[in-house]
Structure 1
Amino acid sequence: MMMSLRVSTAASLARRRLPGGRIPLLISTRIPSPRCFSASATTEPTNNSDIIDCDSKDVLNAHHGLDLSDPYCNVSEHIASRVGVNLHHRTNHPLCTIKELIHDYWNTTNSDNNNKFELIQNLHPVVSTNANFDLLRIPQDHVSRQKTDTYYLNPTTVLRCHTSAHQVDLLKQHKRQFLVTGDVYRRDEIDASHYPVFHQMEGVKLFDTSDNTEESIQADLQHGLEGMAKALFGADTPVRWVDAYFPFTHPSLELEVYYQDDWLEVLGCGVIHPDIIQNAGMDPSQTSGWAFGLGLERLAMVLFAIPDIRLFWSTDQRFHKQFQAGTINTFQPYSKYPPCLKDMSFWLAPDANAFCENDLSEVVREVAGDLVEQLTLIDSFVHPKTQRTSHCYRITYRSMDRSLTNQEIDALQEQVRTLTQDRLGVELR
């Protein structure tokens, strides 16, 4: 049966792009959960050249199944510690609730007993660059391929940026209708709505072109997604479609809903590009389909009124006891601990174009982990004589669960300063 959905009065959130939006969230996923389904409902990676064998000795080690020894690797211990946590498998967790509500929608309201969506949610996040980029038509010069944006284990292996990294392999396995959920990884800025690990959900459905046109496939997609949006946000919620571009679909669309007095971007979708069908070993003249991708954190933050994305990773029972599987309710803040603000100024290296804020964010996260709430550029100028560029960043430290002491933050700040200078080649002021 469809789980009951009690939509609460969530705090109004300004319309924003999805976290980590450098790679479109289309055929990707942004969701997770563990109780949820029996082993028969999941699919594990197969021995395909585009899916990394996670049992191999060169991948498995003490870092949650990751080999961090390659000189090219830019995955920190902090990020490695998130692999295998699988928030989307945790009963009562808001991400698991959103995931299951969407699962139930597609397998009750929008399908029949003979045509269920296969639920796939245990695929390992280590994939090849071929699967993550090339097979999805992401160009060689795309910014998302840079080490400033993607976590590399070695030059040809990454932590997936989107669950779409598995799409071609799953299609090669002759799967025609499925939902994929999992954790994805992107180097990104630090604020209340961005985190380097988040969760996506992707849906894919194939059609025989002898019985369906591109227009009818797109209509089927839009009808299904409009129904899903109304199931989550309320039957009377206005929706609208916006033209978009994704390299793996054509035509491509974004769905927005009008919620809490603002238009909110919910997901990306489209008709699967013929090249993707061909990459999966099928004939595009005979087979086509649609795909969509959405972020679970984004939906959960709005529907549960969760103000900070770090809360999803909290171990504090004052957070977790507020939620129950299958029910959406308004999060009640249990305390607002005071922030601790620290500023850091430095001259950029002679090649100022080499500096990337994502690299600085990684340094701060590597030292302070989830104690850092925000990183903000508060001042920047060019010296009139030397032409050197100066940046001043304000780091906001705040725990979600306890008060911080000046002593511990001073120690962290000193580590941040030292590592910033050593790793980024800047000159501290």
Structure 2
Amino acid sequence: MVTRRFLLVGEGNFSYAAALSEVEEPGTSLVASCPQGPTALAGNPVFQENLLRLRERGAEVRFGVDCTQLADAFAMDGWKFDRIYFNFPHCGRKAGVAKNRELLARFFQSCTDVLAERGEVHVALCRGQGGTPADCPKREWHNSWQVVAMAARGGLILSNVHPFNSEAVPGYKCTGYRSQNKSFHVEGALNHVFTRSLPFKESQPMICRVRLDDHWLTFPVPEALVGKINRGFLEINSSHPVRTINEKLIAELGKMFSLRRLKCPTSLLPEKSYCNHFAWSSDSLSAPFWIIPQKEKILHSEFSAAETTCDMEELLVSFSRLHLQKHLEWKREQEGQKRIESPTKFSLRPSLLVHAQDIIQRHDFLPGSLHILSGPVFRKCLISPFMLPTFHETLFVYGFDKKTSDSCLHLFLENLKCSLHDLLTQRLPDGPELSSSLTFKLQENKKDYVIYVKPRNFGPVEIVGLVIGSVITSATSQIYKDLDFVFASVNLDLLVMLVWGISDWRILWTFDHRFLDHFASGKVEPFKTFSLYPPSYVHDVSFWLDGERGFDEVEFHTVARAVSQDMITSIQLLNRFQHPKTGQISLCYRLTYQTCDRALSHQQAIMIQNKFRTEIQQCLHVTVRYSHTNLDSRKIHVSLP
């Protein structure tokens, strides 16, 4: 039997520890501690009784343990605790909320030294003290103990909160500071359960390598996409919901159509093949990620130690020869091998629709069959809850005889609509049916559609609607004169968010094992976040524009996304000022920082903000204004995830 080790700190009369020792399951090793020495409690009969109960149960009691210096008491033993309890912490006497916050922060920082990797920290607070939406009544943020923000300083996130049930531990009697007889009022108290979050790491340069015949091409991954390249969510052994929803959608369509699944080609495209018309996936507020790859001239082992090399040979097919032959010169060398001239400019594909014509031109294209291509796509875009810089897309290409065009097109559209509707409609166990309104909105050319969804009960705010895909019926081919075609693309990430009730797209890319653990069973159940009520921090930045260079709004958001590693959730333009004498223009933006899977402290947000100020000066050639208003505009509050 694996032993679980529990630690209780700040115990008063040890009644909670004694009661807990009698209700916990066998195999639990319990250590109870208090800040006083044994002589300070010698005259307390309640303490003496509880001490006897603890020792009879085999529990260990330690005196003089400072809850803010736990490593001093337990590091020598090499102990790691599966659970640490701190009930109703208080600095004592008439200490204000600021001192109690600092006590919590130092306690949480100390916990990380002795907490097991998947351990929990339980903190019970009186009604309203925590400062989370779970409190009833809820205090003003500045008047609370800001428990989630204090825990973030120790790298911990709030994963659960529930009423503190003193009846579950018979015999427990809370006491005041340092075992004073005056007890706390526990009515309405809450128990807050914290767990470790993933640590913050500096974004490291990442190099990707793609194979082209006998050569390798390398390119630096854009900083905004580091951590989102080559994740393999759609691979056969993946349990990611993106793959689950893709397989369900394809299986539904496979009931009516003969399917041909294609391996997704590489994510690079030549500049001249780039098409601006991608229907739903491209608009005036998005742009491609342009890159300049180089033919590799160094060995793999010669990469800098600071760079992470991402070998795409197994996951990505070589460049499409149809594209390359249009823009690269091929020459025979003496050995008869082909040599590649240095390519000029490529872009990461913004949509799989760029491959639609290539699929039609394949020698093995089969009219009447539904050809399917799935893979990740990339685009620069504004920071918004439902504008994704990278997501997974599935493309359906269907060719049919012109003589039966109307009936074939109708059959495909109806089946696609029904398949999506079935995925978006779910019945919870012993609950109501949850459904989203799905429509195909006809575009101005009266031929193409966007797939529009109006979700119900989705996220903390009401959403008017989301575009999750497009259908293009206006496509033609020079090869097949007697065929009509329809292309349909679906944003799998948005579909996953709607099906599982996930309101933050960033969680789909988390490295935290708890996300995929939720989907291990394969059941479609509403997703329950493991990070509750993450704090948000608001900072302003003002800068003068370079009149000659202009200002690119999308690039500004992209720099913010890269520097913060997607920790900026909102960017709002507060003010646009033009100097009356020089004519120079100044912009002021408000940035909101918040994470969905990591512990973000106020100090970390300030560090990121300072780095962002430096980066926009270097990348966008603006001049930051360090006014007193900017420096004092740092705000902190908690909001729903």
Q: Offset of 1:80 from its aligned partner?
A: 5.0
TM-score (normalised: structure 1):
0.72
Q: Any idea what the Cα deviations from partners look like across 1:117-174, whole Å, max 9, x if unmatched?
A: 112354221122344428xx779xxx96999711112354110010112222222213
Q: 1:169 to 1:54 in 2, by over 3 A?
A: farther
Aligned to 1:231: 422
Q: How does 1:63-212 map to 2 (within 5 A)?
A: 67-68=219-220, 76-89=222-235, 91-108=238-255, 110-111=256-257, 116-133=258-275, 149-154=287-292, 155-173=344-362, 174-176=364-366, 177-209=370-402, 211-212=403-404
Residue 294 of structure 1 pairs with residue 436 of structure 2: no
**Maintained 8 Å contact 1:241/1:256:** yes
Q: How does 1:361-372 map to 2 (within 5 A)?
A: 361-372=557-568
Q: 1:336 to 1:263 in 2, by over 3 A?
A: closer
> Highest relative contact order (Cα 8 Å, sep 6+), 1 or 2?
1
2:290 aligned partner, one-letter code: Y
User: Aligned partners of 2:521 and 2:393: how far apart in 1?
Assistant: 19
Aligned to 1:243: 442
Pick from 511, 518, 537: which aligns with 1:340?
537
TM-score (normalised: structure 2):
0.49
User: Aligned partners of 1:128 and 1:380: how far apart in 2?
Assistant: 38
User: Aligned partners of 1:406 and 1:339: how far apart in 2?
Assistant: 9
Q: 1:234 to 1:397 in 2, by over 3 A?
A: closer
Higher strand share: 2
Q: Quick check: 327-336 or 94-103, which moved more? A: 327-336
Q: 1:168 to 1:343 in 2, by over 3 A?
A: same
Residue identity (%): 22
Is the partner of 1:339 in helix, strand or coil? strand
Q: Offset of 1:359 from its aligned partner?
A: 0.8
**Maintained 8 Å contact 1:379/1:391:** yes
Q: Offset of 1:340 from its aligned partner?
A: 2.3
In structure 1, the gaps of 5 or more residues are 1-51, 62-66, 69-74
Q: 1:53 to 1:103 in 2, by over 3 A?
A: same
**Maintained 8 Å contact 1:206/1:289:** yes
1:151 aligned partner, one-letter code: F
Is the partner of 2:287 in helix, strand or coil? coil
Question: How many residues are matched?
Answer: 345
Q: 1:424 to 1:321 in 2, by over 3 A?
A: same
Q: Offset of 1:239 from its aligned partner?
A: 4.3
Q: 1:144 to 1:100 in 2, by over 3 A?
A: closer
Residue 268 of structure 1 pairs with residue 461 of structure 2: no
Q: Quick check: 96-105 or 172-181, which moved more? A: 172-181
Q: CA RMSD in A?
A: 3.1
1:79 aligned partner, one-letter code: L
Q: 1:234 to 1:147 in 2, by over 3 A?
A: closer
**Maintained 8 Å contact 1:376/1:395:** yes
Q: 1:129 to 1:118 in 2, by over 3 A?
A: farther
Q: Offset of 1:55 from its aligned partner?
A: 3.5
Residue 55 of structure 1 pairs with residue 212 of structure 2: yes
Q: 1:133 to 1:265 in 2, by over 3 A?
A: closer
User: Aligned partners of 1:374 and 1:146: how far apart in 2?
Assistant: 19
**Maintained 8 Å contact 1:254/1:269:** yes
Is the partner of 2:448 in helix, strand or coil? strand
Q: 1:158 to 1:80 in 2, by over 3 A?
A: farther
1:82 aligned partner, one-letter code: K
User: Aligned partners of 2:214 and 2:620: how far apart in 1?
Assistant: 32
Aligned to 2:131: none
Q: Quick check: 252-261 or 391-400, which moved more? A: 252-261
User: Aligned partners of 2:417 and 2:246: how far apart in 1?
Assistant: 17
1:312 aligned partner, one-letter code: L
Pick from 575, 594, 600: which aligns with 1:398?
594
User: Aligned partners of 1:330 and 1:347: how far apart in 2?
Assistant: 46
Q: 1:240 to 1:83 in 2, by over 3 A?
A: closer
1:188 aligned partner, one-letter code: C
User: Aligned partners of 1:393 and 1:121: how far apart in 2?
Assistant: 43
Aligned to 1:31: none
Q: Offset of 1:306 from its aligned partner?
A: 0.8
Aligned to 2:201: none
Q: Any idea what the Cα deviations from partners look like across 1:376-409, whole Å, max 9, x if unmatched?
A: 2222233333332221122222222232233333
User: Aligned partners of 1:260 and 1:302: how far apart in 2?
Assistant: 9
Aligned to 1:318: 514
Is the partner of 1:202 in helix, strand or coil? strand
User: Aligned partners of 2:612 and 2:214: how far apart in 1?
Assistant: 33
**Maintained 8 Å contact 1:346/1:392:** yes
**Maintained 8 Å contact 2:286/2:379:** no
Aligned to 1:222: 413
User: Aligned partners of 2:398 and 2:356: how far apart in 1?
Assistant: 11
**Maintained 8 Å contact 2:538/2:591:** yes
Is the partner of 1:117 in helix, strand or coil? strand
Q: Offset of 1:245 from its aligned partner?
A: 5.1
User: Aligned partners of 1:294 and 1:409: how far apart in 2?
Assistant: 35
User: Aligned partners of 1:428 and 1:355: how far apart in 2?
Assistant: 14
1:212 aligned partner, one-letter code: T
User: Aligned partners of 1:231 and 1:147: how far apart in 2?
Assistant: 32
Aligned to 1:24: none
Q: 1:117 to 1:348 in 2, by over 3 A?
A: same
Residue 283 of structure 1 pairs with residue 421 of structure 2: no
User: Aligned partners of 1:133 and 1:402: how far apart in 2?
Assistant: 38
Q: Offset of 1:187 from its aligned partner?
A: 0.4
1:218 aligned partner, one-letter code: L
Q: 1:233 to 1:407 in 2, by over 3 A?
A: closer
